[in-house]
Amino acid sequence: MLDVRRLRLLCDLARLGTIAAVAQAHTYTPSAVSQQLSALEKEAGTALLERTGRRVTLTGAGRVLVRHAETVLAALEETTAALAAVTTGLTGPLRIGVFPTAVRTLLTPALVTLGREHPGLELMVTELDPVAVPAALRERRLDVGLLHDYDTVPARPDPTLDTVALLDETVYLAVPATVPGATPGELRDADWILASPGTLCHTATVQVCRAAGFAPRARHHADDFSTVLALVAAGQGVSLVPELATGNPPPGVRLIALPTRRRTRIAYRRGAGTHPTVAAFVAAIS
């Protein structure tokens, strides 16, 4: 019989690439991960890993097992959901990961609805950039999370997650009212306000500017769009802002709709969509 916990480690190794990264994700030591994977090889009765010096890669058998393990893990999620569905009332923790703008706009009404309709739920919110949500779901630190992608930075399919479309919004170019120019290309010489490097919003802005033929000159870095708009109003630069953050812009900001779109989706572990708490969250926020 193959150990489910060890199968998760093997899937994580296929995704993360190194034993050290798997150990960090699970707060194990690398030697503990290696021992668990060695035990999995004994259970499987065949070599799953090839070791060359300090590098580890999956064998053909290892890749086959990963594909089947993902199906097994999804089936376990479905089983857990089915068992939860026969209980009376929703209780226990519901761990939610969302990006900052969504906390103020999309999530707050959903939390009110969930608290009223399911008072037994323990609602736990973590503010996360969408790039960090998939790992948090896989590592079971979250039950549901909000992801987004831009048409300039399309998301790659993740076989470990299922998603439901939530929102499709326009992206705006935010400029001081006194600054001429209505396209990113016309503002190539302007100072830009970018999100932190490594975030999806930062990557999307860089891609939009690159498509216009230039690299943006970053003067400020800010991840909160209220801060971004305040800096634009103060004449400190220009930026890209999604529609969700433009409900009440400060005076002195001009917003120009761009063809760029941002799409937000609700994500959860594959197979968990019928879990009552996940279904309740989807219904409350949709």
Q: Could you tell me the CATH number of the domain that includes residue 25?
A: 1.10.10.10
Indicate whether 203 and 280 sit together in one domain: yes
Whole-prediction pTM: 0.82
Residues 266, 144: Cα–Cα separation, whole Å: 7
- End of a domain among 38, 59, 84? 84
Indicate whether 80 and 117 sit together in one domain: no
Indicate whether 76 and 95 sit together in one domain: no
- End of a domain among 60, 84, 108? 84
Q: Which residues contact 40 (CB under 8 A, 6 or more apart)?
A: 2, 3, 6, 7, 9, 10, 48
Per the structure, the count of domains in the chain is 2
pLDDT at 254: 96
pLDDT at 88: 61
The answer to whether 40 touches 189, Cβ cutoff 8 Å, is: no
Indicate whether 35 and 171 sit together in one domain: no
Q: Where are the alpha helices (DSSP H) in the chain?
A: 4-16, 19-26, 30-44, 60-85, 100-102, 108-117, 133-138, 200-211, 225-233, 276-285
Give me the count of residues in the chain. Answer: 286
Indicate whether 58 and 132 sit together in one domain: no
Indicate whether 79 and 100 sit together in one domain: no
- Boundaries of domain holding 62: 4-84
Per-residue pLDDT for the chain (286 aa), expressed as one digit of tens each? 788 889 888 888 888 888 888 888 888 888 898 899 999 989 989 999 998 777 888 999 999 998 888 888 888 888 888 887 777 678 889 999 999 889 989 999 999 999 999 999 999 999 998 989 998 998 889 999 999 999 999 888 888 899 999 999 999 999 999 998 889 999 999 999 999 998 999 999 999 999 999 999 999 999 999 999 999 999 999 999 999 999 889 999 999 999 999 999 999 999 999 999 999 999 999 9
Structure tokens at 260: 């760029």
Indicate whether 79 and 54 sit together in one domain: yes
Residues 40, 36: Cα–Cα separation, whole Å: 6
Tokens 């399919």 appear where? 157
Find, among 194, 195, 186, 233, the residue nearest to 217 by Cα. 194
Structure tokens at 70: 């993902």
Amino acid at 278: V
Indicate whether 41 and 141 sit together in one domain: no
Q: Report, in angstroms and rounded to the nearest whole number, the Rg of the chain calculated over CA atoms.
A: 22
Residue 18's CB: how many other CB atoms inside 10 A? 14
pLDDT at 87: 72
Indicate whether 56 and 180 sit together in one domain: no
Residue 135 belongs to domain with CATH number: 3.40.190.290
pLDDT at 2: 86
Indicate whether 124 and 215 sit together in one domain: yes
Find, among 133, 141, 18, 138, the residue nearest to 73 by Cα. 138
- End of a domain among 32, 52, 84? 84
Indicate whether 188 and 264 sit together in one domain: yes
Q: Residue 153 to residues 160, 199, 208, 280: CA-CA distances in angstroms?
A: 20, 11, 9, 30
Q: Which residues pair with 153 in a beta bridge?
A: 150
Indicate whether 116 and 47 sit together in one domain: no
The answer to whether 10 touches 69, Cβ cutoff 8 Å, is: yes
